[in-house]
Structure 1
Amino acid sequence: MFEPLGLDETAIAVYRALLTTPGLSPQGLTVATGLNPGQVHAVLDLLEEKGFLRRSHNDPGELRTESPLVAFERLIGRHEEVLHRSQEQLSSMRAGSAELVEEYHRVLERTRLGQIEHIVATDEIVARVLELGQNAERSVDSLLTTSPTQHQIEQAKSDEAAMLARGMRLRSIIPAAGRHVDGVVEYAAWLQERGGAARTVLSVPNQTLLYDGEVAVLMFNHADFTRGAIVLSAPGAVVALQSLFDLLWESGTDLVEPPSLDELRPEERELLQLLGRGMKDEAVARALGISIRTVRRMINILSERLDAPSRFTLGARAHERGLI
């Protein structure tokens, strides 16, 4: 309890022994506490340093107990000063980081033309994609013109795990040839287990990422990746790209066969029953003893499997198929 103040359970036990038996000698403390003489002297020095013991006015060779109120007030006061300084440092860091973020976006604005941003450097593209993924709230849809390498797959898992844990929907479309590339099917299974999905199509026109159906990142020139990428936030353009993705998705083939609807896990059936009662995510999480993120991830998985665009539709289709 008092470790942040430099006091462990042994020190408190020795202090209590001295309170119970005032004037108890070091030898008596070894018997009362089970400590060896060296440990007893070390604890006595610590208690004196912390203000719980003081040298007697009559005999400086003897120690007497001090009020814990006085000692704790002094120690806690020092600790509060340290915490206050740390809080000031945190506030200063927040202010400094806000200035850097503002400066970063001012630099970006120089390359943006209205609702179109052209980025050429690869590192800048990666940084922008990471930022968009961090800010996305609902979904990320990916169109890949080539199969990802093993390095890209591992990086994708690292970046996407947090988004999937937040309950976001992630879908990827990969060229049909990717089915025979090492690691791609395994990645699709990893994605499906966490509520995402991956499909293949015969041909993908351009490499594209869509965030919440509101922002799109696509290669500037599908035939020359060195030309960089453009970021679009114009609603009309993004809607068109999202419609293209949805059409390709409907015509695609699952990289990993989705589990049968009859193979619902017990917790999935329980979740559907709770949703059918109109319970909110927080209440469902408490009832099942899981996190809200896990609840939302499970809802996304079931919505994908039942092809349900809303929670109401999910409940209705689950009931129609006798799942609840």
Structure 2
Amino acid sequence: MALYQWVVRNERLDRDRAARELDLGRAEVDAALAALTERGLLKADVDDPARLRPVDPDLVAVVVTTSLETSIRAQQAALHRIRDQFASLRGHYLDSLRRGSVGLELIPGLEEVRAALNRASAECTEEILTSQPGGNRVPAALQEALARDTEMLSRGVRMRTLYHHTARFNGPSQAYVAMASGLGAEYRTAHELFGRLIVFDRKVAFIPEQGDGWGAVVIREPSVVHFLCELFEQYWTHAEPFSDAVTDGLEAVAKDIDRTIVRLLAAGMKDETIARRLGMSLRTARKHIADIMEQLGAESRFQAGVLAARQGLLDDGGKTSPAG
């Protein structure tokens, strides 16, 4: 590029002078000149070979890229053919699901699950119900969700989401809820949730595949979907509007969480189950449990439950879970 600009200014090529003024070695100038002439960007004058004529780069680019553009168009055509073929296969697949009596579809991979959720979001016209356990959300995932949710809300889709109370301590979740709420989405939190669930238009439900994988089970059987929607509605009724923990008072929120942990301890649940039910890490749950047992002076979980009951700590102030 430097040599091309130099030739444009000087018209005649003096290789030694060009090397000095461009602070290049003679070999570098020779290599650059060869590249420019091979690509047709410089042409020697017929009557005076030392005089170089620059060629319009746009014209050269058209010649150089023509074969590449032809290849891209061929690949795009092949891509469209493959998509059309898979689309026709999907029609047969959906027919087999409709003929089946169970109405279940297993999607084993994370990318396939994302694609299925994006397609269901695009086809959703009325309502989406979501139960999102866990207190922490990855900012990048929230940003992606906000773009998708904004598009759905702009189409008049009603969105309701349940979070764990622990989400109120998470800054990214607070910011996401504030922005989406301003667009019409609704959010509530509860100490305990029944698990991850997404339902589109009360017709199609997504639940996690059993195990530690990232797969999902898609449910289209009307009775099962209806049952899941009723379960969501029960938890929604007993949940509280989303607000950050600072607004509610950190101490009050912490006491509510500890009260729930005590109740789960009294029920004989393991640390892993308590952590999952409350949407917190196992490490955090164990710290809460250790602090509670120390405050109660308990040496065992059973004793902690007995002492908590005597002190009235199992009384949730009139709040009951949907399953209680």
Q: 2:98 aligns with which of 112, 135, 146?
A: 112
Return the alpha-carbon distance in structure 2 between the equivalents of residues 129 and 106 of structure 1: 20
Q: 1:103 aligns with which of 86, 89, 108?
A: 89
Alignment of 1:55-66 (within 5 A): 62-66=49-53
SS in 1 for 2:51: strand
Alignment of 1:19-58 (within 5 A): 19=11, 23-30=12-19, 33-38=21-26, 39-54=28-43
SS in 2 for 1:198: strand
* Deviation string, structure 1 residues 28-59 (Cα, Å, up to 9, x no partner): 3345x433243332332222212243456678
Residue 22 of structure 2 is aligned to residue 16 of structure 1 = no
Q: 1:215 aligns with which of 187, 203, 220?
A: 203
Q: Could you tell me which residue of structure 2 aligns to residue 310 of structure 1?
A: none
Q: Could you tell me which residue of structure 1 aligns to residue 65 of structure 2?
A: 79
Return the alpha-carbon distance in structure 2 between the equivalents of residues 14 and 30 of structure 1: 10
Q: CA 1:117 to 1:105, structure 2 compared with 1: closer, same or farther past 3 Å?
A: farther
Over the residues paired in the alignment, what is the CA RMSD in angstroms?
Answer: 4.7
Q: Give the conservation status (yes or no) of the 8 Å contact 1:14–1:29.
A: yes
Q: Give the conservation status (yes or no) of the 8 Å contact 2:45–2:53.
A: no
* Deviation string, structure 1 residues 147-172 (Cα, Å, up to 9, x no partner): 4486xx55964763442353646432
Residue 254 of structure 2 is aligned to residue 254 of structure 1 = no
Residue 167 of structure 2 is aligned to residue 193 of structure 1 = no
Return the alpha-carbon distance in structure 2 between the equivalents of residues 251 and 96 of structure 1: 49
Q: Structure 1: 5+ residue runs without aligned partners? A: 1-7, 220-227, 261-324
SS in 1 for 2:220: strand
Q: CA 1:47 to 1:198, structure 2 compared with 1: closer, same or farther past 3 Å?
A: same
Return the alpha-carbon distance in structure 2 between the equivalents of residues 108 and 192 of structure 1: 35
Q: Give the conservation status (yes or no) of the 8 Å contact 2:169–2:244.
A: no
Q: Give the conservation status (yes or no) of the 8 Å contact 2:168–2:244.
A: no
Q: 2:149 aligns with which of 151, 157, 164?
A: 164
Amino acid across the alignment from 2:180: G
Q: How far is 1:89 from its partner?
A: 1.0
Q: CA 1:77 to 1:243, structure 2 compared with 1: closer, same or farther past 3 Å?
A: same
Q: Give the conservation status (yes or no) of the 8 Å contact 1:53–1:63.
A: no
Amino acid across the alignment from 1:254: P
TM-score (norm 2): 0.51
Q: CA 1:250 to 1:215, structure 2 compared with 1: closer, same or farther past 3 Å?
A: same
Q: CA 1:49 to 1:84, structure 2 compared with 1: closer, same or farther past 3 Å?
A: same
Return the alpha-carbon distance in structure 2 between the equivalents of residues 102 and 200 of structure 1: 42
* Deviation string, structure 1 residues 294-315 (Cα, Å, up to 9, x no partner): xxxxxxxxxxxxxxxxxxxxxx
Percent same amino acid at aligned positions? 12
Q: Structure 2: 5+ residue runs without aligned partners? A: 208-216, 248-324
Q: How far is 1:24 from its partner?
A: 4.1
Q: Could you tell me which residue of structure 2 aligns to residue 231 of structure 1?
A: 220
Return the alpha-carbon distance in structure 1 between the equivalents of residues 180 and 202 of structure 2: 21
Q: How far is 1:75 from its partner?
A: 4.1
Q: CA 1:216 to 1:185, structure 2 compared with 1: closer, same or farther past 3 Å?
A: farther
SS in 2 for 1:141: strand
Amino acid across the alignment from 1:36: L
Q: Give the conservation status (yes or no) of the 8 Å contact 2:206–2:218.
A: yes
When the two structures are aligned, how many residues end up with a matched partner? 227
SS in 1 for 2:64: helix
Q: How far is 1:82 from its partner?
A: 1.4
Q: CA 1:170 to 1:156, structure 2 compared with 1: closer, same or farther past 3 Å?
A: farther
Q: Could you tell me which residue of structure 2 aligns to residue 132 of structure 1?
A: 120
Amino acid across the alignment from 1:217: A
Q: Give the conservation status (yes or no) of the 8 Å contact 1:200–1:255.
A: yes
Q: Could you tell me which residue of structure 2 aligns to residue 142 of structure 1?
A: 130
SS in 1 for 2:7: helix
Q: CA 1:111 to 1:192, structure 2 compared with 1: closer, same or farther past 3 Å?
A: same
Q: Could you tell me which residue of structure 2 aligns to residue 315 of structure 1?
A: none
Q: Give the conservation status (yes or no) of the 8 Å contact 2:161–2:188.
A: yes
Q: Give the conservation status (yes or no) of the 8 Å contact 2:130–2:160.
A: yes
Runs of 4+ in 1 over 6 A off after TM superposition: 202-207, 236-244
